[in-house]
Chain A
Amino acid sequence: MGTKDVKPTRSELIELKKKIKLSQSGHKLLKMKRDGLILEFFEILNKAKGVRNELDDAYDNATEKIGIAEAVEGRMVIKSTALALKDGPEISLESHNIMGVVVPKIEASSVHKPINKRGYGILGTSSYIDETVDSYEILVDKIILAAEIETTMKRLLDDIEKTKRRVNALEFKVIPEMQEAMDFIRFRLDEMERENTFRLKRIKA
């Protein structure tokens, strides 16, 4: 808002005063939101680190289990057994709110299945296959958890960045410009009042 565009009227001054007050309270709130989001982000960051480590471990374990199963049973056996499993996990996506940031809540059902509900016969298979399936079920669980936490983290980061930009814009641009405009109007109004007083004195004389 340049001072050139400002009409130096009393009503404009009142309007500007209102706007500055509103911007200052907005600025304060946004600062609080930014700080809150940062705190929340660090909490989730710690959780994300833990989940990422668990995910890496689960992946290593699943890779080793399938490696052993492929070696002992053969890849053909593993592939054939895998054909008996058609149903994937059902993923439901909900959302919840952290300080106005909509973050996903991912829930998956039927990832873990008991040995007798997995789709393959027991007598023709072995514990190598059971343990491979187990380890991949755990891996899928961890992937879902990591997806939820890491998406939340990304959304929070985006929102922190956005809030920071808004806080800075209010603090360094919007409020100072409005204050400058307010000063300009005050100055012009004072000037106009002085001119008026001078004009009245000249008429009187």
Chain B
Amino acid sequence: MRLFQRLRNKSSSATSSGGSNYAYVTARVRAMKSNLLPKETYSRLMNMDLDEITRFIGETQYKQDVDELARKFKGVDLIEHALNRNLAVTFSKLIDISEGELNYLITEYLKNYDIWDIKTILRGKYYNATLEEIKDNLVSAGQLKYNFLSELAEKESYEHVIDTLSNTDYYPILKNYDGTNLPEIENQLDKLYYQRLFNAIGTPKSSDRKLFSKLIRTEIDIKNIKTMFRMKKEGVEDGELEDLVLDGGLRLSLKEINSLVPLPFADFINSLEKYPYWDAISDFASPDMESLVDLETSLTKYSIKSAASFSHEYPLSIVPIMDYMINKKNEVNNLRIIIRGKAVNLDDEIIRNQLVI
């Protein structure tokens, strides 16, 4: 609890102070970036069998995580937990070494992990899952540290969990949880994340902040497109869809989204042709499409690649840090896709399609 208070104090002071250490953090990030696996590694990994990949990952920067978790997990689960742990440690390090406004921006960006962990704990309490089950699925890559999350998971009921979070920004939403409306609470928490992130950007004045804003707002656009496709394909009522769309998109304003919502599925797809995201989805989007998986993968690739395209600009800004975070997450995702895909004997073609290289 004390740790959590300390974190909160740090966070609240960060928002008010402006003394950021961009030079130091970007230098550290450059060094950390050199540890990322080169692109050609993935094609090599695709030609290895499961044991070879496991050994390879155990010899990289993930070695320590693999060694430490080897007592508890084995096989593919061990690798996945090691990857997630390494990601959590890396992102926590970024929060710890950054100061001022930079710390505030990084923290806000990584709060989706905090929200994910809170959701996992609430789901676990709802399901009456064992403590071990809940703890095993936590990824403390955000502001909330693993010890605090473990304490939360140990609480007897969801009421106690929510009471413990009463000093957080999530409390106004969590207090409405009555044990039956979990999906609604989850959606509101996710909306809060994007809303806070959008507010954190504010009105960008400098060029680097404009670029950061562009990156976040593109992510919001893509999230909205994915949500609309999922809901419209299932024929969910327009009212419910309107509640799920996020404000602050780059190309798709709330007004434009609201005009897309009532359209029939076929017209909705046609209306997307005028947006730059069409190139990414044109091959998959059709009124009688059976699966959204390829479309979603393509949009995710678009998002990551567009972020990477301006990563070299403004070396002393939030941009290279964001680029590193995106690439690190992408590396973890790619490694997991390969190892899990091979473990369940997915076709190499399917695995390759999911990789973002």
- Contacts from A to B (Cβ < 8 Å): 63-64, 66-68, 70-72, 74-77, 79-81, 83-86, 114-124, 126-128, 130-131
Contacts and interface: CB of A to CB of B under 8 A. Distances in A.
B84 A116 contact: no
Given A71-B346, A122-B227, A123-B227, A83 B126 contact: yes
B230 A127 contact: yes
Contact of A114 (B119, B234, B333, B337): B234
B137 A80 contact: yes
Nearest to B184: A121
Nearest to B240: A116
Given A76-B136, A83-B120, A126-B226, A131 B115 contact: no
A124 B190 contact: yes
A164 B82 CA distance: 63
For the side of the interface on B, what is the size category? 35 or more
Contacts of A68: 293, 341, 346, 350, 354
Contacts of B183: 84, 116-122
Residue from A76, A118, A131 with most neighbouring chain B CB atoms (10 Å): A76
B129 A83 contact: yes
Contacts of B136: 76, 79
B187 interface: yes
Contacts of B126: 83-84, 86
A131 B230 CA distance: 10
A86 B350 CA distance: 31
Contact of B187 (A75, A122, A130): A122
Interface string B224-246: 00110111001010001000101
19 contacts: A67-B341, A67-B346, A68-B293, A68-B354, A70-B340, A71-B337, A71-B341, A72-B337, A75-B340, A79-B137, A80-B120, A83-B127, A84-B186, A116-B183, A121-B183, A123-B244, A127-B230, A127-B291, A131-B291
Nearest to B333: A72
Residue from B77, B231, B293 with most neighbouring chain A CB atoms (10 Å): B293
A121 B292 contact: no
Given A116-B231, A127-B226, A71 B236 contact: no
Contacts of A70: 340, 344
A84 B127 contact: yes
Contact of A75 (B80, B182, B227, B230): B80
B292 A130 contact: yes
Interface string B166-188: 00000000000000001111110
A127 B137 contact: no
Contacts of A118: 183
B116 to A, nearest CB: 7
Nearest to B236: A116
A84 to B, nearest CB: 4
Nearest to A70: B340
